[in-house]
Amino acid sequence: MTPSSGSGIGRAGSVRSIMKWTIIAGALIAIVIGTIASFVGGLVAGLPGVWGALIGSVTAFVFFAITAVVMYFTAHSSPATMAAGVLGGFLVKIVGFMGVGIALRGRDFYDPWTLFLTLAVAAIASLIADVVIVQRSRLPLVDEPDERRS
């Protein structure tokens, strides 16, 4: 099952359809990687490994979803507005990443290596999912004319 042109008209509807599929894929990736990493982390590092894997998979999904949500809501906007939204989302991710790092610094209830590896694997898997979704989608090169203007 692949995304199609969506329920909207033209390019914005297609972008929204792609972002819906991206969020769904990101959630599935986070669940699968979180489950596997929790199991492996639990075997290797015990309960701290499980916590590291869970924190890593949730953090990866939240950071991944920020861009998709921003693009979903700015799909009908001008390219400059969409770019500003994406850059704003990037700033939110940087501040969020620093916040997570500060909140977890000095804590011993999680395994930092499990957290790092879970984040890295989830980021790579999310990038692969993005590429596959965009390659399989049908994104029009031009918008259809607006009937209200004619």
The rounded distance, in Å, linking the Cα atoms of 150 and 142 is 17
Please, are residues 17 and 3 in contact by the beta-carbon 8 Å criterion?
yes
> Could you tell me if residue 146 is inside a domain?
no
The string over 121-130, giving b where at least 16 C-beta atoms fall within 10 Å of a residue's C-beta and e elsewhere, is bbbebbeebb
The tens-digit pLDDT sequence of the chain (150 residues) is 444 444 445 566 677 888 888 899 999 999 999 999 999 999 999 999 999 999 999 999 999 899 889 988 988 888 899 889 989 999 999 999 999 999 999 999 999 999 999 999 999 998 898 888 878 877 666 656 665 555
Residue at 4 is within a domain = no
Q: Are 55 and 66 in contact (CB under 8 A)?
A: no
- 30 belongs to a structural domain: yes
Q: Is there a domain that residue 126 lies in? A: yes
Any domain includes 148: no
Q: Which domain holds residue 95?
A: 10-137
In the chain, the number of structural domains is: 1
Residue 81 within a domain: yes
What is the SS3 string spanning 58-107? HHHHHHHHHHHHHHHHCCCCCHHHHHHHHHHHHHHHHHHHHHHHHHHCCC
State pTM to two decimals. 0.78
Q: Is residue 43 part of a domain?
A: yes
Residue 142 resides in a domain:
no
